[in-house]
Amino acid sequence: MLFDKSHFLGKFALLGITALLTLALFDSNAWWKVLLWAIPATLLNLYLTGMTIQASLSPKVMAFAQGIAAALFAYLVSLPMILRTTFGTLVGFALLVGVAELLVMRFYPQKTP
């Protein structure tokens, strides 16, 4: 499934804002590092969204799975000391992304062909 530019930009804005609120604010990462991190995280998020549509998983389950995937990706990026992360921030980030995804799914339902 292909996504248009607005879908990518919407997911990038969602991940960028939530990452700036958690990874930049609480863990004192540079804002430009967080926004650069958000680009591949958005691609991962879109890949998981495409898998959700194909696998017909529950939107609630997949929203929090996307949050956990984003937090795990942030943890992997923090291993070579590119980003600083703490366990509490990663948990908060995963929950914040999950709740934001649920809100986006509620207000902008997926169009089915």
DSSP notation for 1-40: ----HHHHHHHHHHHHHHHIIIIITTT---HHHHHHHHHH
pLDDT (0 to 100) of residue 45: 84
pLDDT (0 to 100) of residue 99: 94
Residue 113 within any structural domain of the chain: no
Residue 45 within any structural domain of the chain: yes
- State the pTM of this model: 0.84
pLDDT (0 to 100) of residue 110: 63
Sites in the chain below the pLDDT cut of 50: 1
Number of domains composing the chain: 1
Q: Within 13 A of 38's CA, how many CA atoms are on the CB side?
A: 26
pLDDT, tens digit (0-9, with 9 covering 90-100), for 9-36: 888 999 999 999 999 999 889 999 999 9
Residue 88 within any structural domain of the chain: yes
pLDDT (0 to 100) of residue 53: 63
Query: Which structural domain, as residue segments, surrounds residue 40?
Result: 5-107
Residue 23 within any structural domain of the chain: yes
